[in-house]
Amino acid sequence: MTQSELDGLIAAVHPPDAGARREAEARWDNIAKPLGSLGLLEEFVVKIAELTGDANVSIDKRAVAVLCADNGVVCEGISQSGSEVTMIVAGNLARGMTSVCRMAAAAGVDVIPVDMGMATRPAFGGLVDCRVADGTRNIADGPAMTREQAEAAIMHGVGIARTCAGRGYRLIATGEMGIGNTTTSSAMASVLLGLPPESVTGRGAGLSDTALERKIEVVRRAIAINAPRADDAIDVLHKLGGFDIAGMAGIFLGGALYRIPVLIDGFISAVSALAATRICPAAACAIFPSHRSGEGACSAVLGALGMHPLIDAGMRLGEGTGAVAAIPLLDMALAVYRGSSSFADIGMEAYGKL
């Protein structure tokens, strides 16, 4: 992806539709209930209308894209398990057996598992092949990937959004699977937010105090060795990130391009969304936060995005589980939006805005 191609992508993201927003707001205000009483549920529906240019909001066909990739930093002992677990979970995703698969089945969501670059090529089917390389390099020794690889991963994510749009999907939830990716996302968050590593680095899957200190030191070393430029999100991605993070950033960009709402999952996904908005600020129109992760730095990232999530349940599983959990809430909001009585229907004077 050349600079001109990136500039073209950014220029192609057109502004939200203010007319559709006003129509959706008017529809909410005409429903026989106190104005704004469904809070963020109302705002999410209005924002989807604004994004798509259609106040007749539908998310009836939806998917969760789970991006699988390995991270060379695992060799630093910053995780409870080794990279082989990424492949094991990817296989279970392909067979519909993981936590997000069961939650997605309950919520009527299709699961799209993607190989962005696991350490070895899978010997089974069922994964979308967006493979960039056999995992990234160790960020504590040098850049995770080349800039060209980061750009390729971003464009794979844009392609996932394009394919989903072509197949009629109305909503994409983001998910990831990759041992070590709370370390890569913590390093990115530290740089993008201008915060010290210890304030954005959490326990991941449950590290001990000693292991957490080692993880913080690895993040600190990675930033010092790579000297990423905070004003260049792609530079931060290629030096400190992972193929999964870059791919999700591309999905958020693609959501803005193809007018599909994209749900942030947890901390890692939120860092991807932050990178996407640093690449293209207008991409924020397509980004919707689902939940506040149990990883402490998630709040800081969502704060930087200026976004408030629907759920605060202490979840930190990943795979897109938090994003999928939010979808039934949006279904309920749309049930009210589409089917409720108006003030005129019940013979009541409409509430006014004070």
pLDDT, tens only, 51-84:
999 999 999 999 999 999 999 999 999 998 899 9
Computed over every residue of the chain, the mean pLDDT equals 95
Range in 194-203, 207-216, 328-337 the model is least confident about:
207-216
Whole-number Å distance between alpha carbons of 353 and 44: 20
Mean per-residue pLDDT, 31-52: 97
* pLDDT score for 208: 85
261 close to 288: Cβ distance less than 8 angstroms: yes
* Tens digits of residue pLDDT in 123-138: 999 999 999 999 999 9
Instruction: Please compute Rg for the chain using Cα positions.
Output: 20
Measuring CA to CA, which residue among 144, 142, 166, 176 is closest to residue 272? 176
Torsion sign, CA atoms 132, 114, 73, 198: positive
Range list of β-strands (E), the chain: 62-69, 110-117, 128-129, 171-177, 262-264, 287-289
* pLDDT score for 218: 97
Q: Distance between alpha carbon 233 and the CA centroid of its chain, in Å?
A: 16
Q: Which amino acid is at 259?
A: R
Domain with CATH 3.40.50.10210 in the chain: 62-336
Supply the pTM of this predicted model.
0.96
DSSP label of 31: B
3-56 belongs to CATH 1.10.510.10: no
Mean per-residue pLDDT, 15-34: 96
* pLDDT score for 82: 92
Measuring CA to CA, which residue among 228, 119, 234, 123 is closest to residue 179? 119
Domain with CATH 1.10.1610.10 in the chain: 3-56
Whole-number Å distance between alpha carbons of 89 and 321: 14
Q: Which amino acid is at 60?
A: D
Residue 319 annotated to the active site: yes
DSSP label of 146: -
Catalytic member of 76, 295, 319, 349: 319
DSSP label of 342: B
Q: Which amino acid is at 11?
A: A
62-336 belongs to CATH 3.30.420.480: no
Measuring CA to CA, which residue among 346, 309, 311 is closest to residue 33? 346
Range list of β-strands (E), 185-233: none
Q: Where are the alpha helices (DSSP H) in 32-175?
A: 40-52, 84-94, 99-107, 147-166
**pLDDT higher than 80, residue 319:** yes
Q: How confident is the model at residue 41 (pLDDT cuts 50, 70, 90)?
A: very high
Q: How confident is the model at residue 151 (pLDDT cuts 50, 70, 90)?
A: very high
